[in-house]
């Protein structure tokens, strides 16, 4: 039954199994295990990013094509919810409409991009997605009457999902709408993650992997490579949009910094690579490690910079703003030395 | 007989996960034309490409004048005196015929006498000297490819199917030019599917099957023995 | 020898349609200029916009040329190329600040000398960084596009952040040298001096590049290598060395483009190269990967369109280039002048 739920894709490593179960338990009981606003926020972010990274891995790891538009699709979902919540009555139907519209828009745009780029060369895809994504980012900041520009948008979500909605106390923890909201995010992400797991372990997923390994041969066997790649791209985009909608519901705010920026794109890339390309479980570990590091390691860097303030150069290098530089170095090293990521490593040691 | 110009000794080549050459050994005598024959897909082209270094030999030795070149980079071959006509002709189609020839003459500008000789052997090259090679017909491209290999004196010529897909008239031009090259005492290793061409040019024969050499001998021996031709290459009578 | 009997070689005559289709990309530029004239109406604004469009196009071409050649030659896509633009800009601007007595003097000779020195320093600097980048970042991932994209994006981030460490995180403002400020009037239109200079430099570089590619043996090797690298090796040339040379030259040109862009915008940031990369990718794609001429025409089209549209409707300027890319890919899925690869 459990094996069926994960589509027969066993972790195939004892340590990995323990880690994954640990993550699952921690996230499932996060409100009770880690009280506090910031901890819950971190947990929700991890949930959303697991889904976002897993959907990206469908493209990068399973299909072998690089997209730089994934955060754009993430943004579609987020802005969909935001705009629907602003322009419709506050309520569940606004969330529903916004989410659906975002996912649909993402799939359509992904289809059009795929039509133009995947038909010719997979490498076009990387360049075109980069161009389109940055054009959209510029557009969002320019059309500020609609999108709020750089400031972003805040909006209201159904009262049941806000802290103002109180239900009582369980195990000494006050249950309010915020916790309901967390569980909405958690269970939706879990369900969609299982869907993704099902997809990659289906015949469709096997074809994608065959294409990744040798697109020429896959075509020769009779698979329409372009159609499969485009389908993967659309699916991945729609999933990213759903993740974006959840994030927007959780944050009650959207802005370029939280959904559209190139920096988030890099974060996602790094999470996939660290966790392990071509395995959904890699997305879980990558997202958990990265979000935790981002939330807590930067403070450490700041402390380090403070301690070494008298030395030359080192404080500049440890400046929390240089966080991205270390990410870049880590990223290069991971691609060189751990191309299979943590999951690959764990699986290869028997 | 003097030392062979080229000797392969147990050459093994893998392409990806496939074992294409499974221990190829043969010799190319100096000043003669050696024909590399066999059915499609038995590793003839791979053998030439391995000699050029375009596929790395996993094992074995490739001796050019006694020196093992199996591990040397591709770009050393020309300096070692090997001229190469690949199966796909390897024409630089955006470059003019002249520019193709300039690149082939590594040691300096093509000397006049040699150019005239090549023009005589391949008249279209003169006509289209300053045109883009991409606009040449298939036969003209093949002429250019061979002329490129002949742009300089070489110790050894590796020629992969020079008559593939060509009209009979052009085939005879090609055979004429190669015969002239042979008359100058060139050492040639050639892959050829057209048996009448092979018989017209070849002195010696190496027959391959499934990645190994299955027969070596003289062309005279092979030409006289149709049963052997049938057995070795699945040649049909019409191919004569 | 047997003469070739009755085999009179004929060249496939190019029909008018073929010729038109070959020259169509070149015709797009005057077509766009003409459309611009009709849509904008006022001839003086049109001239100003056309000159600035050309200037922008030239600068983009300078930055894009290295990228497209590197791709053509070795099938390597370098997402880190933008970092060389930023590095060149910072290096060049540092030199200009250092030579502030020259740039401030009202002497054309001293001004131009300062700019040339800045350009030289930037090119040497980015060329050297490019060489190191090729060795450390790119070389280990030959043959794998996926890894190339990932690794070079990593390289882009690290280099950009290194600029923050060395030059600080703030943007730097600069003034053009005295003699390059202001504009000259031509009819009713004001043409900025610096833009004219940019057009001149860009044209000079394009012509020089074409001469090198057409008239020198190195150029022949590069062009041949773009089409069939294997055969170039078989003819005895070490393509790796040629490639490294092209990579260094391309990085140096990116640095040159960076200095020129810095003087154009009069402000530099570490991220400027990264944002330029978007236009550069569009140019390289519509031109046809690996094609210098394609990149040149593509860059001019992008520069002109960007300026015309920015004048008519500022908000859609960047989107207009996406539109241009879409239209061209609909017309020619491989770009305007794709390099014909052997095989």
pTM of the model: 0.85
Q: What is the predicted pLDDT for the residue at A350?
A: 52
Give how far Cα B87 sits from Cα of B47, B103, B146, Å: 12, 19, 11
DSSP B147-169: HHHTSS--SEEEEE-TTTT--HH
Query: What is the widest separation between alpha-carbon atoms in chain A?
Result: 65
Q: What are phi and psi of C262, to 5 degrees?
A: -60, -45
How far apart are alpha carbons B65 and B62 in whole angstroms?
A: 10
- Neighbouring chains of C at 3+ CB pairs within 8 Å? A, B
pLDDT (tens digit per residue) in B173-196: 889 989 988 998 899 999 988 888
Q: What is the predicted pLDDT for the residue at A335?
A: 86
Nearest CA in chain C to A323: C161
* A262:C274 CB<8 A: yes
* C146:A262 CB<8 A: no
pLDDT-derived band at C128 (thresholds 50, 70, 90) equals very high
Q: How far apart are the first and last CA of chain C?
A: 32
How far apart are alpha carbons B35 and B218 in whole angstroms?
A: 10
DSSP A175-197: EEHHHHHHHHHHHHHHHHHHHHH
Q: What is the mean pLDDT of chain A?
A: 86
Please tell me the least confidently modeled range out of A1-10, C11-20, C26-35: C11-20
Strands B188-191 and B33-37: parallel
Higher pLDDT, C306 or A172: C306
Q: What is the predicted pLDDT for the residue at A1?
A: 66
Q: What is the predicted pLDDT for the residue at C4?
A: 42
Mean pLDDT, range A177-195, rounded to an integer: 93
pLDDT (tens digit per residue) in A316-334: 777 777 777 888 888 888 8
Cβ-Cβ contacts under 8 Å, C221 against chain B: 103
Mutant choice from A330, A332, A337 vs C, greatest count of C C-beta within 10 A: A332
B120 burial (CB, 10 Å; 0-12 / 13-18 / 19+) is middle
| Minimal Cβ distance to B95: which of C1, C223, C339 | C223
How far apart are alpha carbons C34 and C43 in whole angstroms?
A: 11
The distance from CA C313 to its chain's CA centroid, rounded to whole angstroms, is 26
Higher pLDDT, C257 or C226: C257
pLDDT (tens digit per residue) in A11-39: 778 888 888 898 998 988 888 888 788 88
- pLDDT surpasses 60 at A145: yes
- b or e along B202-229 (b: 16 or more beta carbons within 10 Å of the residue's beta carbon)? bebbbbbbebebebeeebeebbeeeebb
How far apart are alpha carbons C277 and C66 in whole angstroms?
A: 12
Mutant choice from C3, C6, C8, C9 vs B, greatest count of B C-beta within 10 A: C9
* C282:A131 CB<8 A: yes
- pLDDT surpasses 70 at B237: no
Check if the beta carbon of residue A247 is closer than 8 Å to that of residue A56: no
pLDDT (tens digit per residue) in A69-109: 999 999 999 999 999 998 887 888 889 999 999 999 999 99
Q: What is the predicted pLDDT for the residue at B235?
A: 53
Q: Does C340 touch chain B (CB under 8 A)?
A: yes
* C150:A331 CB<8 A: yes
- pLDDT surpasses 60 at C342: no
Mean pLDDT, range B2-21, rounded to an integer: 88
* A328:C154 CB<8 A: yes
pLDDT (tens digit per residue) in B24-36: 999 999 999 999 9
User: Given the structure tokens 């999933």, which residue do they identify?
Assistant: A239
pLDDT (tens digit per residue) in B121-154: 899 999 999 998 988 888 899 999 999 999 888 9
Nearest CA in chain A to C326: A116
> What is the residue extent of each domain of chain C?
46-171+184-331
How far apart are alpha carbons C225 and C237 in whole angstroms?
A: 10
Whose CA is closest to A11, among A1, A21, A23, A25? A21
Q: Does B126 touch chain C (CB under 8 A)?
A: no
How far apart are alpha carbons C316 and A222 in whole angstroms?
A: 42
Mean pLDDT, range C315-336, rounded to an integer: 85
Number of helices and strands (H, E) in chain C? 12, 4
> What is the residue extent of each domain of chain B?
6-93+154-239
- pLDDT surpasses 50 at C8: no
- pLDDT surpasses 90 at A3: no
Q: How far apart are the first and last CA of chain B?
A: 31
Mean pLDDT, range C112-135, rounded to an integer: 94
Check if the beta carbon of residue A336 is closer than 8 Å to that of residue C140: yes
The distance from CA B194 to its chain's CA centroid, rounded to whole angstroms, is 14
pLDDT (tens digit per residue) in B192-217: 888 888 999 999 999 998 899 998 99
Mean pLDDT, range C110-137, rounded to an integer: 93
- pLDDT surpasses 70 at C336: yes
* A139:C149 CB<8 A: no
What percentage of chain C exceeds 90 in pLDDT? 44
* A331:C329 CB<8 A: no
Residues B6-93+154-239, CATH architecture = 3-Layer(aba) Sandwich (3.40)
Check if the beta carbon of residue A229 is closer than 8 Å to that of residue A164: no
Count of CB atoms situated within 10 Å of the CB of C63: 31
Q: Does C231 touch chain B (CB under 8 A)?
A: yes
3-class secondary structure, A121: coil
Higher pLDDT, A298 or A292: A292
Mean pLDDT, range C229-252, rounded to an integer: 92
pLDDT (tens digit per residue) in C168-200: 888 999 988 888 888 888 877 888 888 998 999
- The domain made up of A12-348 has a fold known as ABC transporter involved in vitamin B12 uptake, BtuC (1.10.3470)
Q: Does B204 touch chain C (CB under 8 A)?
A: no
pLDDT (tens digit per residue) in B45-79: 999 999 999 999 999 999 999 899 988 899 998 88
Cβ-Cβ contacts under 8 Å, C5 against chain B: 169, 172
CATH 1.10.3470 fits C46-171+184-331, yes or no: yes
DSSP 8-state class, residue C82: H
At CB < 8 Å, which residues of chain A contact C?
60, 64-66, 116-117, 119-124, 126-128, 130-132, 134-135, 138-139, 142-143, 262, 266, 269, 273, 313, 316-317, 321-322, 324-325, 327-329, 331-332, 335-336, 339
What percentage of chain A exceeds 90 in pLDDT? 32
State the Cα angle at C139 between C134 and C141, rounded to 5°. Answer: 130
Whose CA is closest to A65, among A220, A212, A279, A270? A212
3-state SS, one letter per residue, for C213-242: HHHCHHHHHHHHHHHHHHHHHHCCCCHHHH
């Amino acid at each position: 039954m459990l094996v069926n739920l994960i589509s027969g894709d066993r972790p195939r490593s004892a340590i990995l199994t323990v880690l994954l179960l640990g993550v699952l338990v921690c996230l499932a009981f996060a409100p009770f295990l880690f009280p506090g606003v910031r901890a819950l926020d971190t947990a929700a972010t991890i949930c959303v990013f697991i889904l976002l990274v897993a959907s990206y891995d469908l493209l990068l790891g399973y299909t072998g094509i690089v997209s730089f538009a994934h955060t754009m699709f993430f943004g579609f979902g987020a802005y969909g919810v935001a705009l629907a919540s602003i322009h419709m009555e506050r309520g569940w139907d606004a969330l529903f409409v916004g989410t659906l519209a975002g996912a649909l828009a993402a799939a359509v745009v992904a289809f059009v991009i795929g039509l133009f780029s995947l038909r010719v060369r997979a490498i076009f895809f990387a360049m075109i997605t980069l161009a389109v994504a940055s054009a959209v980012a510029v557009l969002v900041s320019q059309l500020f009457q609609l999108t709020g520009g750089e400031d972003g948008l805040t909006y209201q979500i159904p009262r049941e999902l806000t802290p103002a909605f109180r239900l009582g106390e369980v195990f000494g923890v006050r249950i309010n709408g915020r916790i309901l909201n967390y569980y909405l995010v958690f269970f939706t992400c879990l369900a969609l993650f299982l869907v993704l797991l099902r997809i990659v372990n289906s015949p469709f997923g096997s074809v994608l992997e065959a294409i990744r390994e040798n697109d020429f041969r896959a075509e020769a066997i009779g698979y329409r490579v372009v159609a499969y790649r485009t389908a993967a791209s659309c699916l991945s985009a729609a999933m990213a949009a759903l993740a974006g909608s959840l994030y927007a519901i959780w944050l009650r705010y959207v802005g370029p910094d939280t959904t559209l920026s190139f920096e988030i794109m890099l974060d996602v890339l790094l999470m996939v690579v660290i966790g392990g390309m071509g395995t959904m479980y890699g997305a879980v570990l990558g997202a958990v490690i990265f979000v935790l590091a981002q939330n807590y390691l930067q403070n450490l860097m700041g402390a380090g910079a403070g301690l070494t303030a008298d030395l030359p150069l080192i404080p500049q290098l440890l400046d929390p703003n240089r966080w991205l530089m270390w990410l870049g170095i880590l990223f290069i090293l991971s691609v060189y030395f751990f191309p299979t990521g943590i999951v690959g490593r764990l699986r290869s040691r028997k | 007989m003097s030392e062979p110009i080229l000797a392969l000794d147990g050459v093994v080549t893998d392409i990806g996960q496939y074992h294409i050459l499974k221990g190829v050994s043969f010799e190319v005598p100096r000043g003669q034309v050696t024909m590399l024959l066999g059915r499609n897909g038995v590793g003839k082209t791979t053998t030439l490409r391995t000699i050029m270094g375009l596929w790395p030999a996993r094992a074995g030795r490739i001796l050019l004048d006694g020196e093992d070149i199996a591990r040397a980079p591709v770009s050393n071959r020309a300096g070692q005196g090997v001229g190469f006509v690949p199966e796909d002709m390897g024409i630089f189609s955006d470059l003019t015929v002249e520019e193709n020839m300039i690149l082939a003459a590594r040691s300096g500008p093509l000397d006049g006498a040699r150019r005239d000789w090549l023009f005589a052997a391949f008249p279209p090259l003169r006509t289209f000297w300053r045109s883009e090679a991409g606009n040449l017909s298939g036969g003209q491209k093949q002429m250019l490819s061979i002329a490129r290999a002949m742009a300089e004196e070489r110790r050894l010529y590796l020629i992969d199917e020079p008559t593939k897909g060509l009209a009979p008239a052009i085939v005879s031009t090609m055979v004429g030019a190669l015969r002239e090259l042979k008359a100058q005492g060139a050492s040639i290793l050639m892959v050829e599917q057209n048996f009448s061409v092979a018989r017209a040019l070849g002195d010696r024969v190496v027959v391959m099957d499934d990645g190994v050499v299955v027969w070596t001998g003289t062309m005279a021996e092979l030409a006289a023995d149709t049963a052997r031709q049938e057995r070795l290459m699945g040649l049909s009578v019409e191919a004569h | 020898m047997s003469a070739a009997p009755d085999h009179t070689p004929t060249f496939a005559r190019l029909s008018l349609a073929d010729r038109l289709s070959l020259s169509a990309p070149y015709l797009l530029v005057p077509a766009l200029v003409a459309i611009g004239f009709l849509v904008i109406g006022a001839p003086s604004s049109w001239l100003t916009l056309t000159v600035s469009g050309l200037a922008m196009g030239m600068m983009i071409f300078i930055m894009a040329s290295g990228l497209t050649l590197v791709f053509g030659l070795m099938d390597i896509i370098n997402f880190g190329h933008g970092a060389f633009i930023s590095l060149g800009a910072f290096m060049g601007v540092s030199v200009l600040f250092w030579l502030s007595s020259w740039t401030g003097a009202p002497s054309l000779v001293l001004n131009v000398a300062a700019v040339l020195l800045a350009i030289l320093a930037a090119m040497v600097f980015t060329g050297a960084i490019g060489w190191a980048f090729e060795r450390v970042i790119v070389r280990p991932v030959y043959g794998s596009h996926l890894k190339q994209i990932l690794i070079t994006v990593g390289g882009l981030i690290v280099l950009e952040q290194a600029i923050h460490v060395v030059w600080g995180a703030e943007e730097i403002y600069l003034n053009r040298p005295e003699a390059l400020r202001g504009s000259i009037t031509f009819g009713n239109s004001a043409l900025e001096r610096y833009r004219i200079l940019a057009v001149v430099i860009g044209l000079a570089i394009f012509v020089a590049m074409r001469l090198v590619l057409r008239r020198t043996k190195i150029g022949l090797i590069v062009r041949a290598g773009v089409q069939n690298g294997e055969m170039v090796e078989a003819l005895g040339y070490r393509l790796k060395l040629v490639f490294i040379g092209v990579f260094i030259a391309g990085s140096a040109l990116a640095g040159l483009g960076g200095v020129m862009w810095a003087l154009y915008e009069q402000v530099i940031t570490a991220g400027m190269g990264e944002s330029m990369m978007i236009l550069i990718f569009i140019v390289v794609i519509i031109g046809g990967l690996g094609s210098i001429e394609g990149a040149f025409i593509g860059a001019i089209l992008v520069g002109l369109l960007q300026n015309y549209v920015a004048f008519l409707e500022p908000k859609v300027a960047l989107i207009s280039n996406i539109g241009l890319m879409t239209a061209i890919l609909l017309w020619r899925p491989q770009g305007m002048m794709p390099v014909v690869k052997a095989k």
